[in-house]
Structure 1
Amino acid sequence: MQVRYLSIKPRSRILAALALVPCLAGCFASPGGASSSDDGRPGSRLRVALAFPPAENFSPYGADATLLSRLGVAEGLTALDANGAATPALASSWRRENDRTWRFTLRDATFQDGTDVTPSAVAAALTHATRAKPAPAALAGVTLRARADGDRGLRITTAAPDPVLPMRLSSPSLAILSPKAYGKADRPDPVGTATGPFEITKVNGGGSATLDRYDDYWGGRAQAAGIDARFVKDGTARANAVRTGDVDIAEAVPVAQAATIDEDTLREAGTTRTTSLQLNTRSGPFTDPELRAAARTAIDSSALVKGVFEGYADPGAGIYGPAVTWAENKRVKPAGRAKPARPDGTRITLATYDNRPELPEVAQVVQQQLQKAGFTVKLEVREYSRLESDALAGKFDAFIGARNSLLDTGDPVGILASDYTCDGGYNLALLCDKKVDRAVAEADRTDGTGERQDAAMAAEAAVLGTDAVVPLAHQRIIVGVATKVRGVLLDPYERTLVGAGTRR
C-alpha cells in the first residue's frame, strides 16, 4: 500500500466552507483532565474524529465492528496484509488438517479484563458469533464449529470446505472478546473485554468515547496514553477540526474540503472500494446487451476522476482496483461483449444515494454522459435506507453505488458471488448468466491464494463481458493527520487507523 503526501490545488469552495463551519475548539478536550499536550512526548492522548457513530453499542456483529478495529480495541485470530493474505494476530500460526478442519495455535495474550486468552475462551467467542441474529456478514452461508485442543490449540471445522477460513477470521465482525462480554444481552459488550492496545473506558451515547491504553497488550505497550474519540458526521466539520488543530486525526475528509487543510496534514491511500454503474439486466431497456454496451462506451471515467473526485480516485479498471495489488497483473480481457446500439432517446431511470456526498455528483456527470450518447435520463437521489429495497427489486434501470470489492473477508470471490450470480444476495444488476455463475462457482472451489486470485479474475472478466456493471472509479481515502502525529495506519480495507505505534 502506498501512502503519500498530497499536493493541494486551490478550490473555489474554500471560503464558503470555512464560513459555514463553526469552530470546534473545546469539543475535543480530553475528558477528566487527561493530558493532551502538544509537546510530542510519548504518552500524550490522541484526539480522533470519526465519521460514523456507533449504531449498536459497539457490538462487533454489525457496522460497529470496524470502529473497534480502527480504534485499536478489538482483534481477531488473523489480520490481512497489504496483498490480502491472512497474517497472524491472536493466532500465531495455523495449518489445514483436511478439507474442512484447520488447527490454530494461539499466542500468549490477555483480555483487557485481565483474564487469559485461552482456546476455550476463543472457541466460546466464535460460537457466540455463529449464533448471532442476524449472523455476522463474514459468516454468511458458513457453518463452523470451534473447540479447544490443548493448552494453546484451537480446532475449527466447517460444514463445507472453506479454503479462505484464515482470511474469513480476519473480519472485524469476528473479533475475540472475553467470556465476560457475553452476558444476557443479544450482543456482546466490548467495553474492557477486548484484546487490543486500547480499551474503551467510557461511552457517551453516539457522541464520543474515551479509551485508555491497555498496558498488558501482547504486542507491546501503546505509545499513546489513550484516545479521545468524537463521532462527527459532518465531513466539513471534521476537516475544519484538523485545520484548526482541534483534532490529531480525522478520518474520511471529503474531497471538497481537502483544500481547506494544509497539505502537510493530509494523507491519502488507495482503498478496495469501487464506485460502479449497475445496469438492470432483468427488466427495462438494459435487458438488451447492445444498449448496455452503449451505456458502457458512453462513460468517461477519467472525467469523473478529474471533475468529481478531483484526482483522489483512479479510473475504473474493473471490479477490483489498484489497491488490490495483485489484480492488475492478473486481469483478463472481457470477451464476447455485444456491439453498442444507438440509444435513440431510450428513456432510463438512474438512481443513487446521498450518504456518500460524492455519489450525487458522480450521478450527475454520468447522466450528462449518457444523455450525450443519446439516452434520456431521469435521476433519482435518496437516502440509502429509502433506496436499497427498490434497487434490489429492480425498480431502477441503472444504479450508482460504492462497494468494497473485498467485502468482509478479503476473499475476492465474495463480491462476485453476492453481487453477480443468480442467487446473489446483493445483485443490483439482477444478473443471471450461466457463464458467469459457472466462472464464479469455479473460483469458489479453487484453493491456494494465487490460484484463487487467477480464478477470480477470470470470473471478473465473465461479469464485465455482460456489461451488467460499468466500473467508474476506485476511491482513495483522505485522512487529516496533525504534523506531530506518527504511526497512523492506513490500509486499503479501511479496517485500521490507530495502533500501538500511533503517537504524537
Structure 2
Amino acid sequence: MSDRIPTQLNRRTALKTAAGAGVLALAGCLSSDIETADMRIGAPWEASPDPLDGGSMLRRLGVTEALVGVDYDANPAPELATDWERRDERRWQFTLREDVTFHDGDSLDAAAAVESLERTLESAAFAALPIEGVEATDDATVIVETETPFSPLPAHLSRNEAVILNPATFDEDGSVSEPVSTGPFAVDSFESAGGLSCTRHAAYHGDEPAIESVRYERVEDDQTRRMKLEGGELEMARILPRRAIDALESADGIDVYTPEIPRIRFLTFDTTSAPFDDERVRRAANYAMDLESLTESVLEGVDDPAVGPFSTDVTEWANPDLDGYGHDPERARGLLSDAGWSADPGQDGVRTRDGEPLEIEIPTFDARSLPLIAKVLQSDLSAVGFDVDVRTIEYNAMLEQVSQGSFDAYLTSWGTLYYPDPDRLAELFHSEEATLHHGYENETVDTLLEEARKLTSRRARKDRYYEIQSIVLEESPVAFLTNYTTVVATQTDVNGYEPHPVESRYGLESITVGDE
C-alpha cells in the first residue's frame, strides 16, 4: 500500500508516542492482587492457551508471534521471518530472524518452526489451503511448498493459528496447555473466568517492553468494562458501547480511540430456499433497509453504511466504484411484486404468494449491537411487506440452526481482513470454500477467486477482486449493512498506544504507563 491507513481518535485526543522503553528487570511471578499489574486490560473474549482453539488473545497481548506479522498499513510484514521470497511458482523461502529465544530459554530454529507449522497445517483452520508441506533446509531457512501457485501464502502465515510455539512443550496428544512462544510477554498463568497474567520476556529479540507485567481480564458486559476503567481497575478497556463515547471523551483521565477496522455487519440469505432463492427478493430486502438511518440511530453515528465487504477507508482492496443500494422502499415493493409476492391489505400489510405469507425469521446473537440492528431491520422490512420474526440466541446455536438445513436469513458480523489479503473473499463467496451458509454458487466468482490466488501482480489481483465485489453486490447472497468502528479507552497515563488496523496485536511492547 502507498497510503497509511488513517487511525481515528476522539475529537480532543491525539496519539501520544512512547516515551522510551528503558531497561527494566524481569518481573517475578505476578501476584493474585490485580493492583500489582502494570497494564490491566479488559475485553469480552476468553483467553485460551491453544492458538488452534480460540487462542487469538495470546497474539493480541504479545505472547505469540508468527513468521509473518501485519503492519500498520494492514500488509504482511516481517515478524519471526526477516524476509521471504517466491523461489518458483509453488515454493516459498522464509529466512528466520537470528537470536530468537522462546520463553523457556530454548532457541528458535527452522526445525522448531517447521514442527510447529506442521501442527497448524494439520488443523481444520488450514484444511482448505493448498499447502503441500513445509521443511527446514538449514537452521535459519523454512521452505513452504504449495500444491498450486498461491499468492496469499504470507498473509495466511500471519494468522493467529500459524504462530510459532516451542514444540518441545506440546502435550503428548499434540495439544497445548501451556503456550511457550517468542513474543515480548510470556504467560505467567491462566486464571478463572478466562483471564490471563503475563510477564515481560527479558530475552525478547526486539526492543524490551517498558511494561513489566500484563493482566488480562475477561469482562463480558460492556458497561462493566466501562465502570472498571472509570474506577481505575483497568488501564485499557476494549469494545465499549458507542453510546458511552461522548461521556468518556469528556471524562478526566481517559483517552478514547475510535478506529475503523475491517469488519462488517451483514445479513446472510439462504439462496437455496424461498423466499431468498429469488434474487429479486434479496435485492428488495436491500432496498428496503435504511442504512443511513440505522447507523445514525442505534449506532450513534459512529459506523458508516457498508457497500461491500471492505471499506475504502481501510484498504485499497475495496472496490471504490461500488454505489450500494440506497433506501428505496418503492423499488423494493416493485421487485417483490415482480417476484409474485402481492400486497394483501387484509394481512396487516404482509405480502402473499399462492396463499402463503412472506414470513421470514432472522436469528442473531448478542454482540456488536446486532440485536438492536435486527429490530431496525425488522421495521424496515415489515414496511414493504415482510413479516419478520427476530430471535436473539447464542452464537453457536445460531450456526447450528443455519447449518442444519433451509433457513431464511441470519444477522452476523465478520472481520473481513483478519489476515491481510482479500483471499478472505473465498471464505465468503466461493461455492465450495465459503463458510457462510448461503448456498450461493457463481462460476464466474469461483474462477476469479481461483485466478486471483495464482497471480503475482497486485494490480491483476486487485482487478479480479474488484469484479467479485461488483458481482456479489448485484446478486446479493448477503446484504452488506455497516462497516465497523471499535471503541477503545485508556487511562491518560497510557502512552504510545496506536490502534492496529486488523486488531491482531495491541502493541503493548511500545506502551508505557505512568511517568516513565
TM-score by structure 2 length? 0.84
Measure, in 2, the Cα distance between the counterparts of 1:202 and 1:272. Answer: 32
2:10 alignment partner AA: L
Matched, 1:121 2:112: yes
Q: After the TM superposition, which of the residue ranges 142-151 and 302-311 deviates more from structure 2?
A: 142-151
Q: After the TM superposition, which of the residue ranges 361-370 and 384-393 deviates more from structure 2?
A: 384-393
Equivalent residues in 2 for 1:174-193, closer than 5 Å: 174-191=162-179, 193=180
1:293 alignment partner AA: R
Equivalent residues in 2 for 1:340-355, closer than 5 Å: 340-342=335-337, 344=343, 345-346=350-351, 347-355=358-366
Equivalent residues in 2 for 1:27-176, closer than 5 Å: 31=31, 36=36, 45-54=38-47, 57-64=48-55, 66-108=56-98, 109-132=100-123, 135=124, 137-176=125-164
Matched, 1:270 2:279: no
Report the CA distance between 1:165 and its aligned residue: 1.0
Do 1:31 and 1:210's aligned partners in 2 also have CA atoms closer than 8 Å?
A: no
Measure, in 2, the Cα distance between the counterparts of 1:308 and 1:35. Answer: 36
The residue number in structure 2 matching 1:458 is: 467
Matched, 1:398 2:389: no
The residue number in structure 1 matching 2:26 is: none
Q: After the TM superposition, which of the residue ranges 416-425 and 94-103 deviates more from structure 2?
A: 416-425
1:6 alignment partner AA: N
Paired residue secondary structure (2:486) = strand
The residue number in structure 1 matching 2:16 is: none
Report the CA distance between 1:323 and its aligned residue: 5.0
2:292 alignment partner AA: S
Do 1:243 and 1:262's aligned partners in 2 also have CA atoms closer than 8 Å?
A: no
- Residues 391-442 of structure 1, C-alpha deviation per residue, up to 9 Å, x if partnerless? 23453322211011124x322122x322223223423322123333333333
Paired residue secondary structure (1:61) = coil
Do 2:298 and 2:372's aligned partners in 1 also have CA atoms closer than 8 Å?
A: yes
Measure, in 1, the Cα distance between the counterparts of 2:477 and 2:122. Answer: 36
- Residues 18-44 of structure 1, C-alpha deviation per residue, up to 9 Å, x if partnerless? xxxxxxxxxxxx7256974xxxxxxx7
- Residues 7-61 of structure 1, C-alpha deviation per residue, up to 9 Å, x if partnerless? 59xxxxxxxxxxxxxxxxxxxxx7256974xxxxxxx71111121113xx41011
Report the CA distance between 1:492 and its aligned residue: 2.6
Report the CA distance between 1:298 and its aligned residue: 0.9
Measure, in 1, the Cα distance between the counterparts of 2:139 and 2:436. Answer: 44
Measure, in 2, the Cα distance between the counterparts of 1:487 and 1:157. Answer: 39
> Which segments of 5 or more consecutive residues in structure 1 lack a partner in the other structure?
9-29, 37-43
Paired residue secondary structure (2:437) = coil
> Which residue of the other structure, out of 267, 279, 283, is the alignment partner of 1:289?
279
The residue number in structure 2 matching 1:365 is: 376
Paired residue secondary structure (2:284) = helix
Paired residue secondary structure (2:193) = coil
Do 2:34 and 2:215's aligned partners in 1 also have CA atoms closer than 8 Å?
A: no
Report the CA distance between 1:325 and its aligned residue: 1.8
- Residues 45-80 of structure 1, C-alpha deviation per residue, up to 9 Å, x if partnerless? 1111121113xx41011222x201111110000112
Report the CA distance between 1:154 and its aligned residue: 1.4
Report the CA distance between 1:477 and its aligned residue: 0.8
Paired residue secondary structure (1:500) = helix
Measure, in 2, the Cα distance between the counterparts of 1:476 and 1:396. Answer: 29
- Residues 112-164 of structure 1, C-alpha deviation per residue, up to 9 Å, x if partnerless? 111111111111111122234xx2x2453333322222232111112222211
Report the CA distance between 1:268 and its aligned residue: 1.1
Paired residue secondary structure (1:285) = coil
Paired residue secondary structure (1:369) = helix
The residue number in structure 2 matching 1:411 is: 421
Measure, in 2, the Cα distance between the counterparts of 1:352 and 1:257. Answer: 27
Seq. identity, %:
25
Do 1:419 and 1:426's aligned partners in 2 also have CA atoms closer than 8 Å?
A: yes
Matched, 1:220 2:211: no
Do 1:93 and 1:105's aligned partners in 2 also have CA atoms closer than 8 Å?
A: yes
Measure, in 1, the Cα distance between the counterparts of 2:309 and 2:359. Answer: 23
The residue number in structure 2 matching 1:13 is: none
Paired residue secondary structure (1:79) = strand
- Residues 221-263 of structure 1, C-alpha deviation per residue, up to 9 Å, x if partnerless? 1011110111111111111111112110111112244355344
| C-alpha RMSD of matched pairs (Å) | 2.5
Measure, in 2, the Cα distance between the counterparts of 1:439 and 1:328. Answer: 16
Paired residue secondary structure (1:373) = coil
Report the CA distance between 1:174 and its aligned residue: 0.7
Measure, in 2, the Cα distance between the counterparts of 1:324 and 1:259. Answer: 24
1:395 alignment partner AA: S
Distance 1:4 1:419, change over 3 A: closer
Paired residue secondary structure (1:388) = helix
Report the CA distance between 1:329 and its aligned residue: 5.7
Distance 1:302 1:269, change over 3 A: same
The residue number in structure 2 matching 1:420 is: 429
Distance 1:435 1:158, change over 3 A: closer
Aligned residues: 466
Do 2:307 and 2:322's aligned partners in 1 also have CA atoms closer than 8 Å?
A: no
Measure, in 1, the Cα distance between the counterparts of 2:89 and 2:359. Answer: 48
Distance 1:164 1:421, change over 3 A: closer
Measure, in 2, the Cα distance between the counterparts of 1:485 and 1:499. Answer: 10
1:431 alignment partner AA: Y
Distance 1:33 1:307, change over 3 A: closer
The residue number in structure 1 matching 2:328 is: none
Measure, in 1, the Cα distance between the counterparts of 2:306 and 2:34. Answer: 46
Measure, in 1, the Cα distance between the counterparts of 2:288 and 2:153. Answer: 41
Paired residue secondary structure (1:387) = helix
Report the CA distance between 1:489 and its aligned residue: 4.0
> Which residue of the other structure, out of 7, 24, 41, is the alignment partner of 1:3?
7
2:38 alignment partner AA: R
Measure, in 1, the Cα distance between the counterparts of 2:456 and 2:336. Answer: 40
